[in-house]
Amino acid sequence: MRMAELSRRTGVPVPTIKYYLREGLLPAGERTSPNQALYDEPHVRRLKMIRALVEVGGLSISGVRDVLAAADTTDISPVKVLAEVQDRLSPIHGDEDGEHWQAAHDLVEDLIKRRGWHADAHSPAGVTLVAAIASLSDLGRDDLVGLVEIYAEAAETMAAADVSFVMERDNGIDDIVEGAVIGTVIGDAIITALRRLGHQHASNVLYDDPSCEPE
Amino acid sequence: MRMAELSRRTGVPVPTIKYYLREGLLPAGERTSPNQALYDEPHVRRLKMIRALVEVGGLSISGVRDVLAAADTTDISPVKVLAEVQDRLSPIHGDEDGEHWQAAHDLVEDLIKRRGWHADAHSPAGVTLVAAIASLSDLGRDDLVGLVEIYAEAAETMAAADVSFVMERDNGIDDIVEGAVIGTVIGDAIITALRRLGHQHASNVLYDDPSCEPE
């Protein structure tokens, strides 16, 4: 298909498609003349994935590039590809020299050990967790650290379901990686939104607000 | 204390503190001369909260301003303040004219009704949820929509724990709002990091990768 149809099919404006081509996020089409190229279904799919990562996942263009680069690395074992993809989906924040870093790190190591998780406290996700817990202490809200155990239980259940959903399709490594990227990024958005709806519910129930009765 | 000590106490560089003052994120100190002002404990606390929202929560400066504005609105009922704060912590993404929007909206309405949640599908969190589910369909990954029910169960458990943790301190509305802001933003970071560690665990177990045995 021509670029105009690619735009129509995906809802992405032509100038944006050209930008993604220049940035190398989208592979070039098959050139048919100096000014024209043809695109096919993988382009449609890739373009939709880029939009989802940007619009729903909130990733920057360079973040999208990193994730796609990991997703395109299919010459290693699936578990390594998934680890690569996931690492690039976990931006690291935080100050390792902070006052509460070591205590938070010990807490995370202990949590992983107690739960018997085959997981690495030094991976980007582990470091992000340490940073977040350290910042609760920095803010004088150590009381909230008590929630981590409840979250860990919930996260374990969700993650096990995620992995079995993504794996059971048996459509090859590309499909698994695509599912992992989409499921991780859009899954984050779904989970945080659901937790906020849960907060609405819990605080309405607590304060017994009659304006929020369900229909 | 002088600005230099405020900087030392919080680890925030002086130019950054000046920037926050200019942007109105941090209230002015008590002026003691044309070039000097004194700051106190609430400044320390506010500054740490700004850093946590930026570094761990990933909020922009205007996002921080919105959240703090909601947190400072204490002349209405607690449940309304919490709703305000929460709405500003839920950036809305997505295309309401998209092909799969209506079906996703119906799914969310049905989910809320079935679970008996006192929650609003038209709130920012509700709209974000609709957008995320619609984008799964846009991407041809309707299979992943099946995970929403599992996430909803987990989110309900986490949210109930959140609200009871934040409420049980009984230190007044400011403390509740601060707990809600910190717990929501940093809680998101903790939950997404824990889910990724859960993914590491689940995929290592599935592929039985010996390099990832716990110590």
Interface touch B169/A197, C-beta < 8 Å: no
Q: How many CB pairs under 8 A join A and B?
A: 352
Check CB contact of A78 with chain B, cutoff 8 Å. yes
Within 8 A of B178 by CB-CB distance, chain A residues are 141
Of B71 and B210, the one with more pLDDT = B71
| Top-confidence range, A83-92, B73-82, B146-155 | B146-155
Using one digit for the tens of pLDDT, what is the confidence trace for A56-70?
677 788 888 887 877
From B131, which residue of chain A is nearest by alpha-carbon distance? A56
* A174 has a pLDDT exceeding 80: no
Paired residues of A30 in beta bridges:
A38
Q: Which residues in chain A have their CB less than 8 angstroms from residue B46's CB?
A: none
In this prediction, residue A215 has a pLDDT band, given cuts at 50, 70 and 90, of very low
Q: What is the pLDDT of residue B92?
A: 63
Using a CB-CB distance cutoff of 8 angstroms, which residues of chain B are in contact with residue A125? 193, 196-197, 200
Calpha distance A162→B103 (Å, rounded): 22
All residues of chain A having their beta carbon less than 8 Å from the beta carbon of residue B149 are none
> CA-CA distance, B5 to B19, in Å (whole number)?
17
When CB atoms are compared, the residue of B113, B136, B151 closest to A191 is B151
ipTM of the complex: 0.81
Could you tell me which residue, B204 or B97, shows the higher pLDDT?
Answer: B204
> What does the DSSP assignment read for chain A?
--HHHHHHHHT--HHHHHHHHHTTSS---EEEETTEEE--HHHHHHHHHHHHHHHTT---HHHHHHHHHHHT--SS-HHHHHHHHHHHTS---S-TTSTTHHHHHHHHHHHHHHHT----TTSHHHHHHHHHHHHHHHTT-GGGGGHHHHHHHHHHHHHHHHHHHHHTT-S-HHHHHHHHHHHHHHHHHHHHHHHHHHHHHHHHHHHT-GGG---
- For position B112, what pLDDT does the model report? 98
> pTM (2 decimals)?
0.81
pLDDT > 90 in chain A, percent: 48
List A residues 183-202 in contact with B (Cβ-Cβ < 8 A). 183-184, 186-202
Q: Does residue B215 surpass a pLDDT of 50? A: no
pLDDT, position A186: 87
Q: Which amino acid is at A193?
A: A
B140 contacts chain A (CB < 8 A): yes
A82 touches chain B (CB under 8 A): yes
Better pLDDT: B81 or A38 = A38
pLDDT for A35 equals: 86
**Record: contact A162-B184, CB cut-off 8 A:** no
Q: Does B141 lie at the interface with A, CB-CB under 8 angstroms?
A: yes
Q: What is the mean pLDDT of chain B?
A: 85
Strand-pair partners of B33:
B36
pLDDT at B125: 92
**pLDDT tier at B88 (50, 70, 90 boundaries)?**
confident
Does residue B209 register a pLDDT over 70? no
CB contact under 8 A, A207 and B138: no
Nearest to B135 among A56, A77, A150 (CB): A56
pLDDT, tens digit, 9 for 90 and up, residues B21-57: 999 899 999 999 988 999 998 899 889 888 877 876 6
pLDDT at residue A140, as a whole number: 83
B159-180: average pLDDT: 80
